[in-house]
Amino acid sequence: MTALAVLLGRHIGYSASPAMHNAAFEALEADARYELRDVEPEDLAAEVQALRGSDRIGANVTKPYKMAVCDLVDELGPEVERLGAANTIVRYGDRLVAHNTDLAALRDELPPGIRRAVVLGAGGASRAAFDALTAAGCQGIVVIDRARWANLAGALVTADLLVNATPIGTDSDETPVPASFLRRELAVLDLVYRPSPSRLVREARAAGARARGGAGMLLRQAALSFSIWADRNAPIEVMREALRRELGPGADV
């Protein structure tokens, strides 16, 4: 029986996760596959319940369900207890346990020496970014959601890092930040990974800033999720090459 892992989210046809995970399953000669599940809110509980099936490995979770799934599983990992957001579910027998691999992946993507940061967004990725920045010793973190977008220009004046934890720019040429707000001293980490590089990253680099897109974080969190499901190290270089093929040679992988 072929085992199944899925990605739960909404409007996620752009996702590069199947390319990485299916390449990893193939490399390990595992009888398993990874599929997308584009889920309406009213169907989320049933999709999580389906993860208890004997053919299921678990799931990744993306927007907008990282917080909602925490109420639908049997146990929360300690990092999920703290954040209130999960991106990975694993099945142990008939129990579902939620984890958050975004957090460790984000910590590895942050530039060193950040003192003041602005985080855009108020969802699960934003919570992980806030936690990772706090753990890295960042002394001032301003979180800006859509209700406070008018404060963005002022907040960026004293910041040395901007983290885009919104989906703005995904599979489009939009940017959440006008190019005039960017400057050499403001590093940028855009969690958007398709296109790679995003418009925000391109414009930040044009301003002379250190800027990185979300493909590296996507790879790291995917490898950590895979390791939890498989109970063995993920073939990360296989996953990296699959992601690069999926996103193109210029991707920040």
- Write the pLDDT tens digit of every residue in 169-203: 999 999 999 999 999 999 999 999 999 999 999 99
Q: 19 and 117 share a domain? A: no
Q: What is the pLDDT of residues 54-63, one digit of tens each?
A: 999 999 999 9
Mean pLDDT computed over every residue of the chain = 96
What span, in angstroms and rounded, lies between the C-alpha atoms of 221 and 68?
19
Residues 212-218 have a mean pLDDT of 96
Q: 10 and 92 share a domain? A: yes
Contact 169, 191 (CB under 8 A): no
Amino acid at 35: E
Q: Give the three-state DSSP class for 120.
A: strand
DSSP letter at 67 equals T
What span, in angstroms and rounded, lies between the C-alpha atoms of 71 and 73?
6
Classify residue 252: in a domain, yes or no. Answer: no
What span, in angstroms and rounded, lies between the C-alpha atoms of 164 and 129?
9
Q: What is the pLDDT of residues 98-108, one digit of tens each?
A: 999 999 999 99
The pLDDT score that the predictor gives to residue 251 is 87
Q: What's 63's domain CATH number?
A: 3.40.50.10860
Residues 149-177 have a mean pLDDT of 95
Q: 194 and 220 share a domain? A: no
Q: What's 177's domain CATH number?
A: 3.40.50.720
What span, in angstroms and rounded, lies between the C-alpha atoms of 14 and 23?
17
| pTM flag (> 0.85) | yes
Classify residue 146: in a domain, yes or no. Answer: yes
- CA dist 97 → 71, 94, 138, 217 (Å): 11, 10, 30, 22
Give the number of other Cβ atoms within 10 Å of residue 209's Cβ: 19
Q: 209 and 235 share a domain? A: no
Which residue out of 21, 37, 66, 240 is catalytically annotated?
A: 66
The tokens for 54 are 């004997």
Q: 111 and 209 share a domain? A: yes
As for how many domains the chain has, the answer is 2
Dihedral-angle region of residue 29 (phi above 0 means left; psi in -120 to 50 means alpha; beta otherwise):
left
- Expressed as residue numbers, the domain containing 203 is 104-213
Q: What is the pLDDT of residues 44-101, one digit of tens each?
A: 999 999 999 999 999 999 999 999 999 999 999 999 999 999 999 999 999 999 999 9
Classify residue 111: in a domain, yes or no. Answer: yes
63 is catalytic: no
Strands annotated E in 121-232: 140-144, 161-164, 187-190, 211-212
**What percent of the chain shows pLDDT beyond 70?**
100
Classify residue 199: in a domain, yes or no. Answer: yes
Taking only Cα atoms into account, the Rg of the chain, rounded to an integer number of angstroms, comes to: 18
| pLDDT exceeds 90 at position 249 | no
Q: How confident is the model at residue 133 (pLDDT cuts 50, 70, 90)?
A: very high
Classify residue 253: in a domain, yes or no. Answer: no
Q: 172 and 145 share a domain? A: yes
Q: 199 and 226 share a domain? A: no
The pLDDT score that the predictor gives to residue 212 is 95
